[in-house]
Each structure stands twice: as structure tokens, then as C-alpha cells.
Amino acid sequence: MKIFLDTADVPTILKHFETGLIDGVTTNPSLIRKSGRDPEDVYRELAMAGIPDISMEVVEDMIGEGRRLSKEFPYVCTVKVPCTPEGLKACKVLSDDGVKVNVTLIFNAAQAILASKAGATYVSPFIGRLDDNSVAGLEVVRSISEVYRVQGVKTQILAASIRDVYKVSRSFWNGAHIVTMPPKIFEGMYNHILTDKGLEIFDADYQATISRSKAFPIPEINNRKPGKDLDAI
Ligand code: G3P
């Protein structure tokens, strides 16, 4: 069960990577454009910071670009291609070369079948965009997962286009191996009103205990270390 961040915002990625809970990053041309940065500068900074898996989307000359990126960023590069005839051809060639490939813009199980036959490491169904178009995105994850399970396919499902926290757990529940999400959704995963309320009570009780201990110090015997001190009693 892996968590990827779906962004090209390096400072935000690095901040969350420090939690030890982030397993990778996915980017695409829109996210790179939003960052206002050169894509390879972004990949380089992420690679140097130790991000273990970075999806780098190729648009033109997909095979040539994919080979170049995988040499430039060995160990961390996953080449991202669209689910088109050219994209899947590139997927096959690159996968045969031993390069990890993420086939993106997946909207049904048929596309996921083609991607797995082309040797994809990951397929990325876009849950939010399916929902936008009145198709239940989670159902698509479920059907890909069932096909892969029945057929013993090794390609992993990387659920993408995640718009709310609920979809994260439901994606995993429906068979996704990885969920990639905007940083805001990751931050939202920590939150629950009952956690906040519970913490408030624990904090108040902790403070009250501390002040009472200061007013009535614990007898010295309780401060003795086990072992030597206790043996002497
Ligand atoms: O990983 C794909 C993702 O970036 C698309 O998300 O919200 O634009 O559909 P969204």
C-alpha cells in the first residue's frame, strides 16, 4: 500500500517526504507547467533528495525520450506514457529494455489489459475524471483489479485523479496498490474531528497532572531507579 504525491512542487514534496510516508511522485505536463520549472530540474532535485520513484511523462519521441530519461535518472525514473497505440508501443519497447513504465489516462479495464500486455509496471486509472463523467471511478479500479487477479497479472494499479480523502481508502479497498494524490489530500488524511477533540482533552489532562505534580512532588522513593536503589530498600 504505497502513497505517491501527484505534484511537481519540490518544497512541498520534500516537506512531506520527511514524514517517511511518501513512496514516490507522479508528474505530468500540466503539473510541470503549474510549477513553472524545467521538468528535468524538478526530477533532479527529487532524485537527489532520495525520492525512490518519479513518474516522468514523455510526449514526443516517447521511446527516445524514455530511454534518455531512464539513463539520466537511473533507479528512480518511471517513464509515463498515454494509453494510445504510440504510447503502448513505447511501453513495450521500454519495458523490454527493463525500464519501468506507467501507462496513464486509463479509463476502463480494456485499456488496462492492453497496458499490462505491453509490459506496464503501473496503470493509472483517473478516478476523479471518471466521476466527472458519470462513471464510478472506483468501480473501474475494482474491475481492473479483478481482471488482473484472475489472470495473475503483475502490473500494479496506481489510482490517480484523487479529489478527496475518502477516495484514498476506497481505492486501496478496491484493489489499488498505489494511490497518488495532491499534497492537500495527503494532509487531509491526518484529520479527524474526534482526533482533535480527543487531543484537546488529553492535553488539558496532561497540563493538570503536570501542575499537580509540581504542587505535590512525588515522594522520593518513586523516583529511585530500579536495580541498585530498589535493592537497598
Ligand atoms: O495523476 C493524474 C492527475 O494529475 C489528474 O488529476 O484532478 O487533474 O483529474 P485531475
pLDDT in tens, the chain (233 residues): 999 999 999 999 999 999 999 999 999 999 999 999 999 999 999 999 999 999 999 999 999 999 999 999 999 999 999 999 999 999 999 999 999 999 999 999 999 999 999 999 999 999 999 999 999 999 999 999 999 999 999 999 999 999 999 999 999 999 999 999 999 999 999 999 999 999 999 999 999 999 888 887 766 555 555 444 444 44
In a shared domain, residues 87 and 135: yes
On whether both 77 and 167 belong to a single domain, the answer is: yes
Domain that holds residue 65: 2-188
- Write the burial class of residue 182 (CB in 10 Å: 0-12 exposed, 13-18 middle, 19+ buried): middle
Q: What is the pLDDT of residue 224?
A: 52
Residue whose CA lies nearest to ligand 1 atom number 3: 161
| pLDDT of amino acid 229 | 46
User: Does one domain contain both 184 and 197?
Assistant: no
Looking at the structure, do residues 50 and 153 belong to the same domain, yes or no?
yes
pLDDT value at position 230?
Answer: 44
Tell which atom from ligand 1 comes closest to the C-alpha of 30.
4
> Of the residues 3, 4, 6, 124, which should be mutated to test ligand 1's pocket, given the most ligand atoms within 8 Å of the CB?
6
Q: Within this chain, do residues 138 and 204 fall inside the same structural domain, yes or no?
A: no
Structure-block grid coordinates of residue 231: 535493592
Q: Which three cell numbers stand for residue 226?
A: 530500579
**Domains contained in the chain, number:** 2
CA distance 227 to 103: 62
Residues 203 and 146 grouped into a single domain: no
pLDDT at position 214 is 81
Q: Are residues 213 and 98 in the same domain?
A: no
Q: Which three cell numbers stand for residue 151?
A: 489472470
One domain, residues 6 and 82: yes
| CATH at 184 | 3.20.20.70
User: How many CA atoms lie within 13 Å of 36's alpha carbon, on the beta-carbon side?
Assistant: 0
Same domain membership, residue 144 and residue 53: yes
Residues near ligand 1 (Cβ within 6 A)? 6, 26, 28, 126, 128-129, 160-161, 180
Question: Same domain for 148 and 209?
Answer: no
Residues 146, 167 within the same domain: yes
Residue 213: what pLDDT? 81
Q: Please check whether residues 207 and 183 belong to one and the same domain.
A: no
